[in-house]
Structure 1
């Protein structure tokens, strides 16, 4: 048997956890994710948005929302741009590891839509310019994963 998700409109609510830090980038990711959900048949009244201070704070909120039983998927959106100090490494690593941990601990898809870029230009390109919109891609991934988990045998969850 081969199991694969699809892009049909899944049941349930979705939540977007979006950082306020680097809002000029994250707001574009958020708009892209909302557009993708709409285009795949998820109406706005089944989508919640939770704003957190920055990418570092995303994992805790994502895990709490994922464990709440109220959401089919949690989509995490943020942007960390490398600077002149080690701060980037700590924040990007904590966000990455924390979101992965939340995904494994809560039983619903927790999707990584956090940009980790070396430059502002790279972030702009990934938030809707040359490289597409990674928020849109994260929402499509969430839809596919919700549909995949619905097809898997119960013992696999």
Structure 2
């Protein structure tokens, strides 16, 4: 069982400027969701951050809500929370794969997202993973988002364009140059 294994955990991310995190949760399994949110909120608060929580109908809506918030609000990072328990149909596979893929695509666009959407075989697995005093997967997802945010701030934030920054043209101002002298 995963709870008996030892894992390396990074030190808590530290920030010199305020951090504002949006927790997006699908509370289909309300008691599981509440534990995930409690763990995420505690982790964000432990690094001095502020957070807001919004609920969406299901795990498939979590990435959409994050995308909307990124376009229309001012959050620094996002925590995706929810729980998908395998059922009798292939709907489980669709929800797990598509929600994860959408979160990954948002992350590749530069959003700092911690994915805490549990994908489990049964309720007991979800309960064990969600407990804030146990495996605390909500806290782990918040820590992941905060670590990505710390890297973003370390590397200077986002730049326009992808791949490279074009060289600046030299500007001549009344006999002086704003760049290296070229003979």
Q: What secondary structure, in the 3-state scheme, does the structure 2 residue paired with 1:55 have?
A: coil
Q: Which runs of 5+ in 1 are unaligned?
A: none
Structure 2 gaps of 5+ residues are: 1-9, 164-183
Distance 1:26 1:139 in 2: 14
Q: Does 2:154 correspond to 1:125?
A: no
- Structure 2 residue 14 is the aligned partner of structure 1 residue 8: yes
How far 1:131 sits from its partner (Å)?
Answer: 5.3
Alignment of 1:24-43 (within 5 A): 24-42=31-49
Of residues 139-148 and 4-13 in structure 1, the stretch that sits farther from structure 2 once superposed is 4-13
Higher alpha-carbon Rg: 2
CA–CA distance in structure 2, aligned partners of residues 76 and 129 of structure 1 = 16
**CA separation in 2, counterparts of 1:129 and 1:5?**
18
CA contact (8 A) 2:113 2:144 kept: no
Report how many residues are paired.
150
Q: Work out whether 1:152 is the aligned partner of 2:159.
A: no
User: 1:129: how far off?
Assistant: 7.1
| Higher RCO structure, 1 or 2 (CA under 8 Å, sep 6+) | 1
Deviations 1:103-132 (A, max 9, x none): 223x22022110000111110110017851
**Structure 1 residue runs of 4+, over 3 Å off?**
153-157
RMSD between aligned residues: 2.4
TM-score (norm 1): 0.85
Structure (1 or 2) with the greater helix fraction: 1
